Amino acid sequence: MTAIDTAPRTPARPAAATPSRRTADRVFQRMTLGAGLLVLLILALRVLSTVDQARPAFAHMGLRFFTSSRWAPPSDEYGALSFIYGTGLISLLALVLAVPVSLGIAVYLSELAPLNARRVVTVVIDLLAAVPSVVWGLWGFLVLRSPLQRFYQTLSDVLSPVPGVGKLFEGPVSGLSFATAGTILALMIIPIITSLSRDVMDTVPVAQKEAALALGATRWEMIRGAVLPYSKGGVIGAVVLGLGRAMGETIAVALVIGSSGQITSRLFAAGDALPSQIANQFNESEGLFRSALVALGVTLFFFTIVVNLAARAIVTRTNRHLKGVAL
Amino acid sequence: MHPSVGKAWRAARRRVTPPRHHAVRIVAVAVALGVAATACASSPPPTGTLAETTLNASGATFPKVFYEESILEFGLRESRVTINYAGGGSGKGRTDLQERQVDFAGSDAVVKQEDVPNYQGGEFLYIPTVTAPITVSFHLEGVEGLRLAPDTIARIFQRDVTAWDDPAVAADNPGVELPDTDITVARRSDGSGTTENFTKFLVSAAPETWTLGAGSTVEWPADTQGAQGNAGVAGLIKGTDGAIGYIDYSEAVVLELSFASVRNSAGNYVEPSAASTAAAVEAAEINADLTYDPIDADGPEAYPIAAPTWILVYRNQTDRAKGEALKAFLRYLLTDGQALALELDYAPLPAALAEQALARVEQIEVPL
C-alpha cells in the first residue's frame, strides 16, 4: 500500500513543492527571527520602564543611593549600599561553600562512581534542583535556624580570638544571618553547578584520559592533568550560572537573612540583600519609597549583567587558551 | 494550596468555637473542602437575590481572616456573588484602587492628602469594619504575666534595654522575679500596617524616648531579628527564650503566646482584648469621613495599641450588579459580621460607629 501510494508522488514532488517549500521556509525564518527579536524587545521595555519608575528615587538621592547605607523610609533616606554589600557577601559565601562540594560530586560522578551509585546520586541531585526556593527558605527558618545559631556560637567562641580571620566570626550571633543565607544559597546552587560540571567532564575524550593513564599517571593525576583543564571553561560557566541564581534568589534569602541592612564583617550577624528587600517591602510601599525599591531592582539588574558579561569573557578566554594549548 | 483549603484549615485549627456559629462553621468548612475537592460536582440551587457578579479586592492583611470568613458566610446567603480578597498589604490595596484594578480595597491607614487626586474613580468613602489590638507578645521562661509602660517598650525595641532584669522592666513589674535572660527583639521584616500602628503608638506615647519614627517599615537596630508576617514573628518568639515582639491579637491568641499589659495614658496597665479595644475606639474622636485614630486613646479602660482598618470604596459605582453586591457585603460586615469578628478575636466596632458606617454605605451611588 505505502509503496504504491508513494511511488507516483515521488517524481512530482520537487516540481510541485519547491515554491511552497520556499514560502514555508521564509515563514519559518521570519517566525524564529520574530521570537529572537521578542526577547530583545522584552528586555528593552523592561529596562525602560524600571529605569523610568526608578528615576524619582535616583533624582532624590543622587549618587548617595549607591554610597550611603542608611535606608530609612520614614525620613525618605534611601541608601542601597548595605543591600549591595549583602547580596555580594552572601553570593560569595554561597560560592565558597558550594563550588568545592559541587566539583567533588561532579568528579566523583564522572570519573570514580560505579554505575549504580552514579544513577542514584544523579537522581537525588536533580531532585534537589526541583525543590522550590520557598521550601528552602521555610526549612531554613523553621528547622535550621536554632541548631545553626548554637553552631555559630561554638564557632564564634573558638574562632573569634584568632587575629585577622577572627573578625568574621565575632558575636553576637544570630540564627538569621548572612551565614544562614549563604548556607541555604549554597545548598540551592550545588545541583546546578554539579550537573553542569558533570556534563562538561563527561565530554572529555576518552583518548585523552587513556593517554594520561598510559603515561603512568595515577587516577588523581589523570583527573588533574586531563579532565580538569579540559573542562575548565564549562565549569567556570557552571559556577557563574550558580552565582547568577544566588544573586537573584529572593524568597529563600528573605526568610533567613534577618533583614537588617548593615555593613559588617561579622558573618553571623543579620543582614539584608537587594532582592529580599524588594520582596519584603514592595507591597506596603508608595510614592518615593516604591520608586526606591524599583531602583534597587535596576541596581540588581545592572550587577547581574556585569557578572554575566564578565563570566562570558572568562569562558571565552579560557576556551581560547585551551585551544591554543591543544593545537 | 487552594485558598479555601487554607481557610478551612484555619477554621478547623481554632480551639474554641461558640455554639451559635458552630453549625454554620461546619457547613463552611464542608463547603470549602467540597469546593477544593470536587470542583465540577453539581452545584446546589442558588440562594439570595443578587445578580451574578464577582467583586475583586486587595489590601490590608490584618483583617484578612475576618474578611475571608465573612466572604464565606456571605456566600452562603448570596451564592451568585463571588468575592476575592487578595490581601497583599494596605499599600497594594490603595494602589490597586487608585488604578481601578479592584472594586474595593482594605487599608489600615488613611490615604495621604497628596495621593487623593490619584484616585481615578473620583471620590472614595472610608467604611470602618473592625478593629483589633496589637499585642506585645513575649516568651520568658518562668514569667507568665508582664506589665510594660510605653517608655519601657520603646527602650526595649530600640535596644537600649537588653536584659530582662533591667531596672526599667523591674519598675513596671513590682514583685515579679525577672531572670537575667538577654532580650531578643523580634519584628517584621516585611512592610506592614502592624509595624506602622505599633510605631505610631510609640511616637505618640513615648515621644521623648522613641527615636525611630513611624512607618510600615522603620530603621530597626541591626541586632533585632526580622521575620516575615505575624506567623514569622510568632515563630521567632516561640522558639527563643527571652524574645519579645509585636503581633496582631488574633494570631497571638491562636498561637497561645503570652502578652503584656500595656500602660495607657490614664496610667492603668490594660490587657489587650476586644473590650479594651472597643473602649479605645469609643474614646477616640471620629472624624466626619469616619476616619479615627484609636492609638494611645484616653479612657481608663482603653488598650493603647489598637489598630483601625477601613474598606475604601468609590462613591460612584459604575456597574449595577457589582455596586449592589458591594453594598450588601458591606451591610453584612457591619451587622451580622460583627459577631463573627468577635469570634475570630477581632474587636467589633462600637454600635454608634457601626450605625454611622451603615449610613455611609447607603451613600454609595449605584447606576440603574
In CATH, what number is assigned to the domain containing residue B250?
3.40.190.10
The Cα–Cα gap between A246 and A230 comes to 26
ipTM: 0.75
| A67-78 mean pLDDT | 89
Percent of chain B topping pLDDT 90: 69
Of B282, B303, B333, which residue is a domain's last? B282
Q: Which domains does chain A have, with CATH numbers?
A: 82-322 (1.10.3720.10)
Cell numbers for B287, please give them.
472624624
What single DSSP character describes residue A111? I
Residues of chain B with Cβ-Cβ distance to A141 below 8 Å are 227, 232, 235
pLDDT of residue B101: 93
At A17, the pLDDT band (50, 70, 90 cuts) reads low
The Cα–Cα gap between B134 and B16 comes to 21
Residues of chain B with Cβ-Cβ distance to A287 below 8 Å are 115
Q: Is residue B355 in a domain?
A: no
H or E element at residue B183: none
Residues of chain B with Cβ-Cβ distance to A176 below 8 Å are 225-227
Q: Is residue B34 in a domain?
A: yes
pLDDT of residue A15: 52
Shortest alpha-carbon distance between residue A136 and chain B (Å): 15
Q: Among residues 175-234 of chain A, which lie with CB inside 8 Å of chain B?
A: 176
Cell numbers for B357, please give them.
458606617
Which class for B291: exposed (0-12), middle (13-18), buried (19 or more C-beta within 10 A)?
A: middle
CB contact under 8 A, B191 and A285: yes
Cell numbers for A113, please give them.
562512581
Q: Is residue B315 in a domain?
A: no
Same-domain status, B258 and B154:
yes
At B260, the pLDDT band (50, 70, 90 cuts) reads very high
Yes or no: say if B311 and B83 are a contact pair by the CB < 8 Å rule: no
Q: Is residue B365 in a domain?
A: no
pLDDT of residue B89: 84
| B38-66 mean pLDDT | 81
Same-domain status, B41 and B147:
no
The Cα–Cα gap between B199 and B219 comes to 11
Same-domain status, B255 and B147:
yes
Q: Is residue B166 in a domain?
A: yes
The Cα–Cα gap between B47 and A231 comes to 69
> Largest Cα–Cα distance of chain A, in whole Å?
90
Residues of chain A with Cβ-Cβ distance to B228 below 8 Å are 254-255, 280
Does the pLDDT at position A325 exceed 60? no
Instruction: Find the closest chain B residue to A79 by CA distance.
Output: B219
| B297-324 mean pLDDT | 93
Least confident of A223-232, B6-15, B141-150, B161-170: B6-15
At B20, the pLDDT band (50, 70, 90 cuts) reads very low
CB contact under 8 A, B191 and A269: no
C-alpha angle A236-A240-A244 in degrees, rounded to nearest 5: 175
* Mutation choice for B interface testing from A283, A291, A294 by most B CBs within 10 A: A283
Higher pLDDT, B42 or B109: B109
> The dihedral of CA B60, B63, B64, B67: what is its sign?
negative
Q: Is residue B110 in a domain?
A: no
pLDDT digits (tens, 9 = 90+) for B91-136: 889 989 999 999 999 998 889 888 899 899 999 999 999 999 999 9
Q: How many CB pairs under 8 A join A and B?
A: 93
CB contact under 8 A, A284 and B95: no
Same-domain status, B21 and B162:
no
Does the pLDDT at position A52 exceed 50? yes
Q: Helix A178-202 to helix A115-129 angle, to the nearest 10 degrees?
A: 130
pLDDT of residue A6: 46
pLDDT of residue B1: 42
Does the pLDDT at position A263 exceed 70? yes
Does the pLDDT at position A92 exceed 90? yes
Our measurement of the distance from residue A36's CA atom to the centroid of its chain's CA atoms, rounded to an integer in Å, reads 23
Shortest alpha-carbon distance between residue B221 and chain A (Å): 7
Our measurement of the distance from residue B52's CA atom to the centroid of its chain's CA atoms, rounded to an integer in Å, reads 30
Cell numbers for B187, please give them.
519584628
pLDDT digits (tens, 9 = 90+) for A130-169: 999 999 999 999 999 989 999 999 999 999 888 888 889 9
Domain boundaries, position B12: 1-45
Same-domain status, B145 and B270:
yes
| Residue A209: CB atoms within 10 Å | 19
At B191, the pLDDT band (50, 70, 90 cuts) reads confident
Residues of chain B with Cβ-Cβ distance to A71 below 8 Å are 219
Beta bridge partners of B187: B226
pLDDT of residue A284: 82
At A20, the pLDDT band (50, 70, 90 cuts) reads confident
Q: Among residues 250-289 of chain A, which lie with CB inside 8 Å of chain B?
A: 254-255, 258-262, 264, 269-270, 276, 279-287
Higher pLDDT, B138 or A236: B138
pTM: 0.80
Shortest alpha-carbon distance between residue B19 and chain A (Å): 35
pLDDT digits (tens, 9 = 90+) for B204-220: 999 999 999 998 889 99
Q: Is residue B275 in a domain?
A: yes
DSSP one-letter string for B42-105: PPPPP-SSSPSEEEEEEE-STTHHHHHHHHHHHHHH-TTEEEEEEEE-HHHHHHHHHTT-SSEE
Yes or no: say if B60 and B132 are a contact pair by the CB < 8 Å rule: no
With an 8 Å Cβ cutoff, the interface of chain B facing chain A consists of 88-92, 94-95, 112, 115, 189-193, 196, 212-228, 232, 235, 239
Residues of chain A with Cβ-Cβ distance to B216 below 8 Å are 73, 281, 284-285
Instruction: Find the closest chain B residue to A149 by CA distance.
Output: B240
Tell me what the pLDDT averaged over chain B comes to.
87
pLDDT of residue B42: 56
pLDDT of residue B90: 87
Does the pLDDT at position A327 exceed 50? no
Which residues make Cβ contacts (< 8 Å) with residue B32, sequence separation at least 6?
B4, B5, B7, B8, B11, B72
Same-domain status, B276 and B154:
yes
Instruction: Find the closest chain A residue to B115 by CA distance.
Output: A287
Which residues make Cβ contacts (< 8 Å) with residue B312, sequence separation at least 6?
B59, B93, B94, B97, B104, B105, B106, B107, B111, B124, B125, B126, B127
Residues of chain A with Cβ-Cβ distance to B221 below 8 Å are 260
H or E element at residue A72: strand A71-72
How many domains does chain B divide into?
2
Which class for A217: exposed (0-12), middle (13-18), buried (19 or more C-beta within 10 A)?
A: middle
The Cα–Cα gap between B181 and B176 comes to 14
Does the pLDDT at position B16 exceed 50? no
pLDDT of residue B323: 94
Of B257, B282, B307, which residue is a domain's last? B282
Of B251, B267, B282, which residue is a domain's last? B282
At A22, the pLDDT band (50, 70, 90 cuts) reads confident
Same-domain status, B31 and B138:
no
Q: Is residue B248 in a domain?
A: yes
